[in-house]
């Protein structure tokens, strides 16, 4: 059983990419919407939340856990790997390396939560691939708006309006690929980069390395939402289509 979690439905942007490669896997998707947003919480709060989710997923039989959240990954993956050495954790990170690989000269905007942008793990990645033409933009409150179906366009006009001639946009939060259309309305012709393909590739590599069976007779997906909001489940299945 493969566990996948995020602070809500954003992790679906990772999960649907995983399903293209593992169409008959057995998955549990844990949407922790009651604790959304993670991005503005302290490290201690996030680690407590992660312990709680990981313990639940282990109890349900997950040996491999995909952290489909940039914030939780950048703040908590080293802690989790140390505390639960029997579990294989796959982390998500802002796809800044892809800019380096595909368009290093381009003017780049990294959008992520404050927690991700201020994390040591992200700053290490940023300094490694810095193209000296990058703006780091903490989007405080954006994941929460997306999660709760708020007025995203108004928010984007306010925070993105000042950025002109951007070529690359790194979507450093798994909720953000859900609003590409709205971002394009403000920034026009930009190229997006997100972590979904990278996570899927790493998951497959780890499954093969440890010889774990991930293809069954049919696809099984078990959905859990921590706020027990039925509406979340409806959105989840719609987004997965």
- List residues binding ligand DGL (CB under 6 A): 6-7, 10, 36-39, 69-71, 113, 116, 143, 173-175
Paired tokens of 214: 């991930």
**Nearer to ligand DGL by C-beta: 10 or 25?**
10
Active site residue 139: no
Task: Say whether 173 is catalytic.
Answer: yes
Is the Cβ–Cβ distance between 144 and 173 less than 8 Å? no
Q: Which of these, 75, 97, 92, 86, lies nearest to 200 by C-alpha position?
A: 92
**Rounded-to-integer distance, Cα 89 and Cα 120, Å:** 19
DSSP-derived secondary structure for 73-119: HHHHHHHHHHH-TTSEEE-----HHHHHHH-TTS-EEEEE-HHHHTS
Cβ at position 90, least distance to ligand DGL in Å: 14
- Among residues 9, 22, 111, 173, which one is catalytic? 173
- Report the nearest approach of ligand DGL to the CB of residue 219 (Å): 23
DSSP state of 44: H
Taking the least distance from each CB to ligand DGL, the nearer of 26 and 35 is 35
**Minimum distance from residue 163 beta carbon to ligand DGL (Å):** 20
Instruction: Give the residue at shortest CB distance from ligand DGL.
Output: 39
Q: Strands across the sheet with 64-67, in order?
A: 88-90, 64-67, 2-6, 26-31, 220-225
Q: How far is the CB of 229 from ligand DGL (least distance, A)?
A: 15
- Of 11 and 106, nearer to ligand DGL (C-beta) is 11
Residue 183 three-state SS = helix
Comparison of 70 and 200: residue with beta carbon closer to ligand DGL: 70
Least separation in angstroms between residue 217's CB and ligand DGL is: 32
Do residues 46 and 72 touch, judged by C-beta distance below 8 A? Answer: yes
Q: Which entry of 69, 80, 139, 145 is annotated as an active-site residue?
A: 69
Residue 10 per-residue DSSP state = T
| Letter string b/e over residues 212-241, b meaning 16 or more CB atoms within 10 A of that residue's CB | eebeeeeeeeeebbbeeeeebbebbeeeee
Q: Which residues are catalytic?
A: 69, 173
């Amino acid at each position: 059983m493969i566990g996948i979690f995020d602070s809500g439905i954003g992790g679906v942007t990772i999960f649907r990419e995983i399903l293209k490669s593992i169409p008959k896997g057995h998955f549990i998707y844990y949407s922790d919407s009651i604790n959304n947003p993670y991005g503005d919480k302290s490290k201690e709060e996030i680690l407590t939340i992660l312990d709680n989710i990981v313990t639940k997923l282990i109890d349900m039989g997950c040996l491999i856990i995909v952290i489909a959240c940039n914030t939780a990954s950048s703040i908590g993956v080293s802690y989790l790997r140390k505390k639960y050495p029997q579990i294989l954790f796959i982390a998500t990170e802002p796809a800044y390396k892809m800019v380096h690989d595909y368009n290093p000269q381009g003017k780049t905007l990294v959008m992520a939560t404050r927690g991700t942008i201020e994390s040591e793990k992200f700053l290490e990645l940023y300094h490694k691939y810095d193209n000296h033409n990058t703006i780091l933009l903490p989007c405080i409150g954006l994941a929460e708006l997306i999660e709760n179906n708020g007025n995203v366009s108004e928010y984007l006009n306010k925070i993105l309006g000042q950025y002109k001639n951007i070529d690359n946009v790194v979507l450093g939060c798994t909720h953000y690929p859900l609003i590409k259309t709205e971002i394009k309305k403000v920034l026009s012709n930009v190229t997006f980069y997100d972590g979904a393909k990278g996570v899927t590739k790493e998951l497959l590599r780890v499954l093969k390395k440890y010889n774990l069976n991930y293809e069954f007779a049919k696809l099984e997906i078990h959905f859990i939402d921590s706020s027990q909001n039925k509406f979340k489940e409806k959105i989840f299945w719609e987004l997965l289509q």
